[in-house]
Structure 1
Amino acid sequence: MTFSIRPARPEEAGLLPAIERSAAKAFLAVPALAWLAQADGLPPAVHVGCIAHGLCWVAVDGRDQPVGFLSARQYGADLHVLEISVAHPAQGRGLGRSLLAAAHEGAARLPGLARITLTTFRTVGWNGPFYARAGFRLLPPAAQDARLAGLLRDEEAGGFPPGSRCAMVRDVILAGGT
């Protein structure tokens, strides 16, 4: 089956939470995080806002049906990845990498964006190690701005195991290599 990446359409916002729930099934393999398979994802209204700002991309199958997405928001010079998910049956086909590439290309076209940020699990294979292979680097606490440090505190307060999460960053390479 072939897949492609494109900007999400407003009418697709309601489909994205089901993709996130499907993707979360992977956490059943991590006993301490299995509860995430039942957790609520981002509400459709968040996706609507991301789509309206041109900051949501979908991976679609040959019938143009979304099977993955990346939703992001701009915070100053940062494009922050709110969520990236690929439906469980479509995982392992490079769609996550392709969605990250689309976000990077989109960020490179927006004036003033210097980096892409996200928070993720440090050691879960399809989280921290995956992003490191995609060009992200760990952002130590001393280098985190108040927004990222606050997100990590909120995630821990929301039930994530202490110290399990981290902030990561990737510089945006602008068109022309600068």
Structure 2
Amino acid sequence: MIIRDATRPDLPRLQDIETAAGEVFRTLGMDAIADDEPPTVAELTRYADAGHAWVAVDEESGPAIAYLVGEPVDGAFHIEQVTVHPDAARRGVGRALVAYAADCARDRGLAGLTLTTFTDVPWNAPYYERLGFRRLAAAELTPGLRRIRAAEAAHGLDRWPRVCMRRDL
């Protein structure tokens, strides 16, 4: 497996990965998540152009099997999305992408990784806890994380319990 910067030709594939990975939420009765549109090419381009989008591939010229996008928020690198295609699940791909993001964040002088996720989805909060993230109490939320949570609530994601998490670097 190789992790590299996402390029513009990768971006439609990232949308396909997001759509395919969303289907598993149906098994938890979270059809609205499965039906949610993937990030637009314009949104993905913004991350890629900023150097904040990475893909995992099985070989250098092969198609992406997973991706991670994010951006600096309040002194940490905030992981907006990490998604693995179901065909590549349970191979350590997501873990490798998070480790890569941590290395990049550390190199850029950021103090940690943050993310928001569903608390009761096995491959969300419990998974990130195994990767060294901890749940943040409300008093620990930075202004940027509060803005992110407000945007998620406005998008309807609070129909299911969510949490902000952090991993110090």
Task: Report the TM-score when normalising by structure 2.
Answer: 0.92
Say if 1:76 and 1:148 are closer, same or farther in 2 by CA, change over 3 A. closer
Partner of 2:55: 58
Instruction: Say if 1:64 and 1:163 are closer, same or farther in 2 by CA, change over 3 A.
Output: closer
Give 1:122 shift: 0.8
Q: After superposition, give the CA deviation of every residue in 1:121-141 in whole Å (9 maximum; x if it has no partner).
A: 012110000111011110111
Q: Does 1:126 align with 2:123?
A: yes
Q: Percent identity?
A: 32
Report the residue type matching 2:92 in the other structure.
G
1:162, distance to aligned residue in structure 2 (A): 4.6
The answer for the alignment partner of 2:165 in structure 1 is 168
Moved more, 160-169 or 64-73: 160-169
Q: What amino acid is the match of 1:15?
A: R
Shift of 1:89: 1.4
The gaps in structure 1 that reach 5 residues or longer are 173-178
Q: What is the TM-score normalised by the length of structure 1?
A: 0.87
Partner of 1:35: 32
Count residues in correspondence. 168
Asked if the contact 2:13–2:63 (Cα under 8 Å) also holds between the matched residues in 1, the reply is no
Decide which of 151, 155, 158 is 1:154's aligned counterpart.
151
The residue that corresponds to 1:68 in the other structure is 66
**Residues 125-168 of structure 1 deviation map (CA, whole Å, 9 limit, x = unaligned):** 10000111011110111110122123223323322245601100
In 2, the alpha carbon distance for the partners of 1:36 and 1:87 equals 16
RMSD in angstroms over aligned alpha carbons? 1.5
Stretches of structure 2 lacking an aligned partner (at least 5 in a row): none
